[in-house]
Structure formats: C-alpha cells, structure tokens
Structure 1
Amino acid sequence: MHLFFTDVQKVRNVSAVPGLSAAELSGVLDRFAPALGTPVLLSDSMWPVEPLCGWFRELSLNRRSAKTMHAYAYTTLMLLRFLNARGLDLVSATELDVLEFRRWRLDDGDEIVGEAAWDRDAAAIGCLYDFLVRQGVVERRPWRSTTRQPRSLSSGTRRDLRVRHMELEQYLYFRDVGFGGLASDGDLDDRFRGWRPHRNRAACELALLTGMRVQEWSTLLLPELGLLDGRRAGTADVELGACAKFGHHRSVYVPADAIDLLDPYLLLERPEIVEKAQSALRRAHRDLFVVTRLEADGAKARGVLDGSSVTRSIRGMAADLRRIAVRETGDGLDPLALFIGAGGRMLTASGWDRVRWAAWERMKARAAGAAHVLPRRCWVYHDLRHTFALRLLIYLTRLALDDAQRQRAPMSTLLGHMSGNPLLQVQRRLGHASPATTYRYIRYLKDPMREVDEAFRCWTAAGGATYADIARQLMVFGDGDAAQR
C-alpha cells in the first residue's frame, strides 16, 4: 500500500491535461478536488483502497486540518499493516486484535509511544470505526465499552495541562527586548540587526489583547480589521472561521489599543515590504487569488483564481488561500494579509517560529541583571493566550466581587450570576468547547505555593531554621497529633 496526500495547486500548475482545456481543468478541480493534504491510500496496483479513501474524503469535507488528517492516515496505515500481518483486516479484527495493537504501540513497536500519543491514535481508530459503522461495513466497534470509558480505547489518563503565563515585567522584556530589539534598560540598541521589529511587536500585542491562537492572528486579513484604503475603525469584531481551531466559528473582539499598536508597522514597515515584493508577486501572478472587489461590507472577496472569476467568504478562507490573496491597487499588487514577510506572502508557522527562536536567543544573550524574567524553556506564542485568559479572568472576578459588595448580598440573583459568571465569559472569548478547559485557569487566581514560600521565609528569618529543621519539627508535630488521636 502507498499513502499520498493531495496538493491541488500542483495539478493546476500542470501545463496541459489531455482532453481538457485549462478552464475545464480548473472547473473540474473546483467541483471535485479534495482539500489540500487529504490522504489517498492506494494498493500496490495503484487502485484506491476503500473504504479508507472514502473516510479520508469525509474528514476533508468535515474540514479537518491537514495536520490531523496526516496523523489519522499514518495511524490507520500502521493499524492496517499490523492486522494484515496477522491475516486480518478492519472488518475481521476483534477486540483482542485492537488491544494487541495498542500494546504493540506502547511497548513493542519500533518506535514506541507514550500514553498521550496513543490517545491520539485511539481517537483516529475510533473515528474510523464510527465511519465504518455508518457505512454498514461493520455492525459495531470491535471493542467493548465500559462505564469508565464508554466507546474509547484511550488510556483514560486525565492530563492537567499547565497554564504558563507571563507577568507584566516578563511580557515587556519578551516584547521589547526579544521582538522589538531594545536594550535591557529600554534604550535603543545600536547593535540590533533584527528584521521587522514593528511587525513582530505588533503581533505580540495583538495576540495578548485578543487571546487568539497563533493560527488565528497570524492569518488575519486587512479587511477583517477594517484597515483597507487608509480606513480605520476604532475597534473590530473578527468572525473567525476556517482558521480557527477545528474550524469552529466564533467572534473575537479586537480593542482599539490593539489596532492603534499596529500603526508603526502599517505605516513604516509594511509599505516597504510590499514595494520590495512587487517583482516576486508579479512573477507569481497566475498562482494568486487577485481580488477585484470586496462585497457584503468586506465579508466576501470577489476576484480571479486560476483563471476563473470566483467569490469567497472571507471567514471561510483557509490559510493557504489567504496566503495568496492580493489586490490590484493600480500601484501594484497589495497582499490582503495583515502580517507579511519577504516576497509579500503571509508568514507560515515555521516563519513565525524562526522569529520566536531568534527573539529567545536575543533575550538570553541580554539577560544579565534580568535573568529572573526568563523561564527555563522558550516562550511560545500560546503563552500570550494564557496570559490574556488569566488577566481577563482576574479582572472579571474582581468586578463580580465588587458588584456583590455594592449590593450587600452574598450572591446575586441566579440569572445575574449566570450571565456575569467570569469563567463562562472567558470560555466564550477563548472559544473553548468545554468549561473544563477554561477551569484550568482558576488555580492561578491565587497560588498557594507563594504562601508556602512566604511561610518558610518567615521561619528562616525568625530563627535561622533550615528546611531540614522545619521538616523535623513538622514530623514531631505529626507524631504528637497521632498520639492524641
């Protein structure tokens, strides 16, 4: 068996297909071509392996990301080869066979995995068998459900993910020194030769003040923020769609401060990047989505794509289409993307990673006297989202407490409590599907370990006690308590 992944653009770039004109080929692809990265499994005789190819197409139609489809495909291929080696297939596999595959992945495979990786495998296998049941290929999943794990092969281990956030001093060092090229004391650093500090600082501010994920803020388009043709709105409500996690639509509020902080980049750096990129954009003109006009108050883009006139919902535009969207302004081609790099294209995830690691190396090199603001591991962009969530939760909690004190009531009415619940408000802003995900932030409202540190510090200051002395005294107190009981 051979596993491939679709790339429609490569087909479009073929100069000719026998029996089809360029326009006819484009029409066929627009109608039938699967999404970029859709897996295709072929037999040794190069025939599609069903029902797996049907399942892959369903994943594509359900707007699963290319990364997810890749992972599901490789898991399925491993399972299929494992079963074939035992003389079985997906239909004849029993619960024991699937459990043996799990043991092989965890303990005996060439590349054994941990429980977290197996849980991702289990999600893929469960999704596959759900499809097989719907198609009538099998009657039910081959494994039995239990009360603790109904319908799941997963390990059942609940992982308490750590919420890493920044304090104000840490954030300023991260933004100004790492991304902005300033010296540790806040002055300009003459030795700084970093690239596009205004763009990178603006990206940090936008991520912090909106709580968007990196795949969301890095793929924003100018019309989504009302920033075309010199126009500016005080604030913006961005309707996220295809670029949101799992494609779950939600609205994100962008405050006026975040838009104001874009000005140095939009006025100084971005025009220079666009001007230098004109020759590259012109050469790639036939591969671009050239937008001729925006419709429905900027919600739709109409233009030419692969020689055909098309209209696309901006909210529904995936990152690969956003990356090639440009406007013909009369002075040249202007990318619709907010954050762009060399060649006028939207920065990829790897491009933003290079920016982050360069900033980290710079922060470490200039950490003399400021080492306390650096964590042990490199900051990631998602830490800005955590910081947004925690700061917003703290602020809303304080508002709720102040409101309760003004009303002189231990608790407001049930309706008021539900509508003003800080946790639910933060959940909605972050786009979390479950309150349990947002609940992780509650522990950081008050960190008990800080109080423990203060207690030990007081002991040490008062009597010169060491941690060993304290431990011995606690053991004595414990024995006394035991004797009394």
Structure 2
Amino acid sequence: MHLFFTDQRTALKVGDVAGLGHEGVRELFDRRRVDTGTPILLDGAMRPVEPVSSWFRTLALERMDPKSMKAYAHTVLLLINFLLKRHEDLRSATEYDIKDFESWRREGGRHTVGDSTWDRDSAAIGRLYDYLVDIGYVASKPWRPVRGSMSLDSGISQDVRVRHMELEQYLFCRDVGFGGLTPDAGLDASFRGCRPHRNRAACELALMTGMRIQEWSTLLLPELSLGAGRRPATCYVDLARCAKGRRPRSVYVPAGAMELLDPYLLIERPEIVAVAQRSLRRRCRDLFVVERLEADGTRARGVLDGVTVVRAIKDMPPDLRRIAVLETGGGLDPLALFVGRGGLMLTSSGWDRVRWQAWERMKAWAGHERAPVMPRRCWVFHDWRHTFALRLLIFLTRQALNDTVDQQLPMATLLDHMTGNPLLIVQHRLGHATPATTYRYVRYLKDPMREVDDAFREWTAAGGASYITIARHVLGLEEHAHAAQG
C-alpha cells in the first residue's frame, strides 16, 4: 500500500488530473472537496483503499491539523500492514490483534515507542473505529471497555517536563550560540555562522512573546506593521491560521523584541533579498505576487497561479505565507519576516539546523569561566515559550501578593481574583485551551531541588564526618600519615 498527501499547488502545476483540467482541479480544492494535506491510501493498483481514505477526508473536513492527520495516517498504515501479515483486516480484527499490535509497537518493532507515542497511536485507532462503527462497516470496536471506557491508551498521566532557562543561560544561548559572540561579549573571529542578527532577533521574539515556533517563524512584515522604513515601538499580532488548533489570539510584542529586529532589518535582510532577486524572478509563476496591501495591511491582493485573489493575512496558511512576495517595482520583497537563502521563509527544518549549530557553539564554549550550566540535551525553541510562561507567572503572582498586602486585606476580592488571576492571564497569553495546561507551571514557581539542598545542607559530608574520614580513622591511616610526615 502507498500513502500520499494531497497538495493543491502540485496538482495545479500538473494541470490536467484524471481529465478534470486545471479549473476542475482548482474547484476540488476551492469547494473543500479535497483539502491540502489530506492523506490518501492507495493499493498496488493505485486505487483508493476504502473506507480508510474516506475517513481521512472526514478528518480534513473536521479541520484537523495536517500534521496530526499525517501522524494518524502513518499509525493506521502500520496497523493495516500488521493485520495483513496475519491475514486479517480492519473488519475481522479482534481484541487480541489490537493488543498484539500494541505489544509490537512497544517492544517488537524496529523502532519501539513509549507511552506518549502509543497514546497518540491509540487515539488514531480509536477515532478510526468510531468512524467504522458510525458508517456500519463494523458492529462494534474489537476491544472490550477498560475502566468503564473504550480507550486503548496507556492510562498513565504524562508528567510533562517544563524545561526553562535562567537569565544567564538565555543570554549565553542567544548571544554566544545564535549570535556568534564570545562568553565575555567580544567578537569571535572564528565564528562561521550564518545571519547572527536574524537568529538573535528570532530568539528575542520567541522569548518575549511566548509564541510557538510555527507562530513566530511564519510571521509576515505587515503583521508587525513593518515596511517602508517604519517600525513601531510595540505592536499586537493577531494569530489565527498559524496558531495551534487555529485558536485565534492576540500576542503583544514588547519594545525589546522590536528593537532587536533593527540590525537584522537594516543590515542582513536587505542583503539576503538583494542576492535572492534572480532566484525569486525565476520562480515568479510559483509565487503569490502581492500587488498591494489593503485595509491597513491586513489584506493582500495579488496574483496566485495566474488568478488575482485577495487574502486576509491572518488567515493565510504557512505554505502560502512562505511564497508571498511584494512587487515593489524595483524587485520582489518577501513578505516573510525571517528569510533565508533564496529569499523565502525558513522552514522548521531550516530553524532546526540553526538551533543545532548554535548548540555546538555553546558546547564548545561550555568550559569558559563565564559559561552557565548547560543542560544535557539541546535546547529546543519550545523552551523559550516555557521560560516566558514561568517568568510571567512568577511576576504576576508576586504582584498579586503585593497588591493584597498593600490593601491590608485578608484575601483579594472576587473581582480582583477574576481579573488578575495570574494563571488565567498566562493561559490567555499562551493560547492554552484549558487552565489545566497552564497549571503545570505552578510547581516551578520555586525550585524544589534548591529547597532540598537547603534542607539537607548540614547533613552532607561537607558539614561533618564523611564515610571516608571515618574509615581512615578506624583503619589507622591518619596515624600512618602523620608518622610519615614526621
């Protein structure tokens, strides 16, 4: 079996697909009969495998994220191939087959998985069989209820580690790792990295806003009110299509993050765009060439695949943002804030390469006297988001406590609690769907390891006799040492 994923732009390049013609293909996507990123499972004769392919389309119509659909599709493909080797299929599968598949995924496969990955797999299988029961393909799910539910998951609550940075770690990461400086803030003549101003600005923007990488890395210049030589002191960005779960929220970009963009926007970005002009012109037919920005920069009018269209910028998906360029008359200027080689928006894999290069630099300077404590694993961009959440929560909590003390009240009023609750504010800033997700940061308000150190400081070997000291005394080694010295 072969697993494919639909791509509107690739299909339009082909032109005539299955006799539909260019306009017929466009109509399929425009009327949402087929969404970009929808999985399709084909057999050896390149025919759709049903009812799995119809279930994939149902997921797309429910607006499931393409990344999640891809993960679900691969899980279901693994299950189908596993059943085929047993001469079974989705209809004839039994509870033992599903349990054996779980055992194979956890212990017998080439790449075994843990609880969190299996929980995702079980969610995909459960959702598939929900659909199969609804359409009457099977009478019921092939497994019995556990703890009153029909869940296949591990039943283990995942203790998500909130890894965050201290100030010294962040500055070392931003300036030494991403910026190419030395730990004492000097210029490193051996630095051979690429675009340090861009990378430092990205770090600052990620930290100071708490945005996820798919949010800050896909920002467009008009969303920050940048362009035509202007830069506001601060701004708000309305996230929609690129937010997780497409949950709209407004993100505040403070002055510090905006200021660090200046060296990149004035020095590096113009150079990247100028070098990329020939490449951009050559690819012009494949780009979304914006003729002008409308409605105070919130809408883009331009030519896409030979057709003049108008798109609301906040509703533009990442793949369209990546190819959006503004026709300035003197050249093509990418609308993307952060651009790389070729003048287009950096992809997630591109930022991963930048991150690993920064990590190698940090490890090389780890022995320096001004280098902070380094974690065992490479920092990931989501750690910036954790740091933002924790620092904001600590600040708001202290502020709420100080306000209560200043008012000389035994407790805050209900209105103060509702409007100034630190957890609710942080939840809103991060775009969490429920307060429960934000609540996991509470345990990090104080460092529990530091409390352990303080509680047992006088109990340690440093504060009294150690086993080594006692052993030396019992064995008389100290007397022999004194005699030798005498």
Is 1:6 the counterpart of 2:20? The answer is no
Q: Does the 8 Å contact 2:37/2:66 carry over to 1?
A: yes
Q: Does the 8 Å contact 1:23/1:308 carry over to 2?
A: no
Per the TM alignment, residue 297 of structure 1 is displaced from its structure 2 partner at its CA by 3.0
Q: Does the 8 Å contact 1:219/1:322 carry over to 2?
A: yes
Name the residue aligned to 1:188: 187
Per the TM alignment, residue 379 of structure 1 is displaced from its structure 2 partner at its CA by 1.2
Q: Does the 8 Å contact 1:390/1:444 carry over to 2?
A: yes
Q: Does the 8 Å contact 1:63/1:247 carry over to 2?
A: no
Length, aligned pairs only:
469
Q: What SS is found at the alignment partner of 1:372?
A: coil
Per the TM alignment, residue 2 of structure 1 is displaced from its structure 2 partner at its CA by 2.4
Greater Cα offset, 211-220 or 65-74: 65-74
Name the residue aligned to 1:177: 176
Cα distance in structure 2, aligned partners of 1:146 and 1:18? 47
The 5-angstrom pairing of residues 21-420 of structure 1 reads 22=22, 25-31=25-31, 34-147=34-147, 150-367=149-366, 368-420=368-420
Q: Does the 8 Å contact 1:93/1:142 carry over to 2?
A: yes
TM-score for both structures, normalised by structure 2: 0.89
Q: Does the 8 Å contact 1:180/1:197 carry over to 2?
A: yes
Residue type at the aligned position of 2:165: M
Per the TM alignment, residue 184 of structure 1 is displaced from its structure 2 partner at its CA by 1.3
Cα deviation 1:224-269 (Å, max 9, x = unaligned): 1111223333322222122222322222121222212211111111
Cα distance in structure 1, aligned partners of 2:191 and 2:266? 21
Cα distance in structure 1, aligned partners of 2:279 and 2:244? 31
Residue type at the aligned position of 2:265: L
Per the TM alignment, residue 186 of structure 1 is displaced from its structure 2 partner at its CA by 0.8
Residue type at the aligned position of 1:290: V
Cα distance in structure 1, aligned partners of 2:133 and 2:311? 35
Per the TM alignment, residue 24 of structure 1 is displaced from its structure 2 partner at its CA by 5.7
Residue type at the aligned position of 2:235: A
Name the residue aligned to 2:481: none
Structure 2: runs of 5 or more not aligned: 471-486
Cα distance in structure 1, aligned partners of 2:331 and 2:222? 18
Cα deviation 1:138-176 (Å, max 9, x = unaligned): 4543334344x6332100111111111111111111111
Residue type at the aligned position of 1:143: W
Per the TM alignment, residue 468 of structure 1 is displaced from its structure 2 partner at its CA by 8.9
Per the TM alignment, residue 51 of structure 1 is displaced from its structure 2 partner at its CA by 1.7
Residue type at the aligned position of 2:121: D
Residue type at the aligned position of 1:300: R
Identity %: 65
Residue type at the aligned position of 1:263: D
Cα deviation 1:199-240 (Å, max 9, x = unaligned): 000000000000001111001011111112233333222221
Residues 239 and 201 of structure 1: is their aligned pair in 2 closer, same or farther, counting only changes over 3 Å? same
Residues 468 and 110 of structure 1: is their aligned pair in 2 closer, same or farther, counting only changes over 3 Å? same
Residues 225 and 79 of structure 1: is their aligned pair in 2 closer, same or farther, counting only changes over 3 Å? same
Residue type at the aligned position of 2:320: L
Cα distance in structure 1, aligned partners of 2:20 and 2:71? 34
Cα distance in structure 2, aligned partners of 1:299 and 1:133? 44
Per the TM alignment, residue 29 of structure 1 is displaced from its structure 2 partner at its CA by 4.7
Q: Does the 8 Å contact 1:360/1:378 carry over to 2?
A: yes
Q: What SS is found at the alignment partner of 2:172?
A: helix
Per the TM alignment, residue 278 of structure 1 is displaced from its structure 2 partner at its CA by 0.4
Q: What SS is found at the alignment partner of 2:228?
A: helix
Cα distance in structure 2, aligned partners of 1:111 and 1:373? 32
Residue type at the aligned position of 1:343: G
Residue type at the aligned position of 1:297: D
Structure 1: runs of 5 or more not aligned: 471-485
Q: Does the 8 Å contact 1:226/1:236 carry over to 2?
A: yes
Runs of 4+ aligned structure 1 residues displaced above 4 Å come to: 15-29, 459-463, 467-470
Q: Does the 8 Å contact 1:91/1:138 carry over to 2?
A: yes
Per the TM alignment, residue 41 of structure 1 is displaced from its structure 2 partner at its CA by 0.9
Residues 9 and 463 of structure 1: is their aligned pair in 2 closer, same or farther, counting only changes over 3 Å? closer
Cα distance in structure 2, aligned partners of 1:458 and 1:65? 54
Q: Does the 8 Å contact 1:459/1:465 carry over to 2?
A: no
Cα distance in structure 1, aligned partners of 2:91 and 2:463? 72
Greater Cα offset, 25-34 or 205-214: 25-34
Residues 61 and 303 of structure 1: is their aligned pair in 2 closer, same or farther, counting only changes over 3 Å? farther
Cα distance in structure 2, aligned partners of 1:45 and 1:22? 25
Cα distance in structure 2, aligned partners of 1:436 and 1:338? 33
Residues 453 and 40 of structure 1: is their aligned pair in 2 closer, same or farther, counting only changes over 3 Å? same
